[in-house]
Structure 1
């Protein structure tokens, strides 16, 4: 269950950050409300996942996957360019998430 909470925390963080971009610095009401709601839900779900998952591991997954997903959404949805160094850096983040999940002995099973 903690990884389900963490998965949804990441999803809501991505929704919140996408809405933050769409809010145009909180000048558009609906995206602003979506942003605040999504971040609140994300933090609640992250807190629930921390009951079992160590904080360093949970935050690394939450932040790392959030970065990669937001970069992809920025590239695909908002048409923001990503160059080769950006793709390499994002690949390294994904690699780090994989290493944490596959090789870390501190993760609950």
Structure 2
């Protein structure tokens, strides 16, 4: 299996876990708290598998950038948290940065 599929799955799980973290209301709600902890554990384990192949800096750059954008979108849709122009522009730059890394860096291991 391509490690970038594993990385994508890890990111998706981390985004769900982050949404559950918000829903846990400061760890005062049991099921969202347990879901968040299980999700973060699973996502981090998957990230360790990716880091066996992909350099740590590259894996983490992709993980954090895509996670930021997806978490912001989930927060906007699910929790009705507003995204203003600078936030959207910043996320666009994050996406551009990931594309530059993935398309042009020899560190990615094409």
For Structure 1 versus Structure 2, the TM-score category normalised by the shorter chain is: over 0.9
Cα displacement (A) at 1:49: 0.2
Cα displacement (A) at 1:29: 0.6
Count of paired positions: 109
TM-score (normalizing by structure 1):
0.97
Gaps of 5+ in 2: none
Cα displacement (A) at 1:21: 0.3
Take 1:51 and 1:64, find their aligned partners in 2: how far apart are those partners?
20
Gaps of 5+ in 1: none
Q: Which runs of 4+ in 1 moved over 2 A?
A: none
Q: Give the match's secondary structure for 1:24.
A: coil
Take 1:107 and 1:80, find their aligned partners in 2: how far apart are those partners?
34
Q: Which residue of 2 aligns with 1:100?
A: 101
Take 2:6 and 2:46, find their aligned partners in 1: how far apart are those partners?
5
Take 1:54 and 1:104, find their aligned partners in 2: how far apart are those partners?
11
